[in-house]
Copies of this chain bind each other. A is one copy, B any other.
Amino acid sequence: MAKPPKENSPITEHLAYLLAQANREINRQLELRLSKEGVPVEQWRILKVLSDGDGHSMGELADAVLLNHPTLTKMIDRMVSDALVYRVQDPNDRRKVLMFISDRGKVLCKKLNSLAVDQEEHIVESYGDKSTSELKRLLESLIDSSN
């Protein structure tokens, strides 16, 4: 049982496909919740990372929120317009821009966090506590082993 895929095995047995499928489904659900506040998932991630109150450079942020640099720049432009975050030039290295969350951003982030927590609780309900934490553990270790 659970053999490695042969050349002609269905695509649904490939790890890459299962990950894509699971990611798509969970992301779709999360998107649905966050749309109550009209915010895309990526913006929630950005707010969440910045909510430690420290300044984060664009490069750091891009890694953390899984966006490449130009896409992040343009998304940050929108968020600055919405006064959720703001830019400050790094005094120690003036090539860098440090991003900070605004008060308005913090308020929004709290609301989004609770919507996201709702979702995780919903998953745990239907999928099980044990499975959820085991899945998280395995995903973390897969990510580790890929670096």
Contact = CB atoms under 8 A, between A and B. Distances in A.
Interface of A: 1-2, 4-8, 10-11, 13-27, 29-30, 41, 45, 48-49, 51, 64, 66, 110, 113-114, 116-117, 119-121, 123-124, 126-127, 129, 131-143, 145-146
20 contacts: A1-B133, A2-B133, A4-B129, A4-B132, A7-B110, A7-B114, A8-B51, A11-B48, A15-B26, A15-B120, A15-B135, A16-B27, A16-B41, A18-B140, A19-B26, A24-B66, A25-B143, A29-B146, A127-B141, A135-B138
Q: Helix, strand, loop or mixed for chain A's interface?
A: helix
Contact of A66 (B15, B20, B119, B133): B20
Residue picked from A30, A45, A49, A138, most chain B C-beta under 10 Å: A138
Nearest to A51: B8
A42 to B, nearest CB: 10
Contacts of A116: 5, 14, 16
Contacts of A126: 145-146
A121 B14 contact: no
Contacts of A131: 138, 141-142
Given A5-B120, A7-B114, A131-B138, 20 more contacts: A2-B133, A2-B137, A4-B132, A11-B48, A11-B64, A14-B116, A15-B132, A15-B136, A17-B45, A18-B139, A19-B139, A20-B66, A21-B139, A21-B143, A22-B142, A23-B23, A29-B146, A131-B141, A134-B134, A138-B138
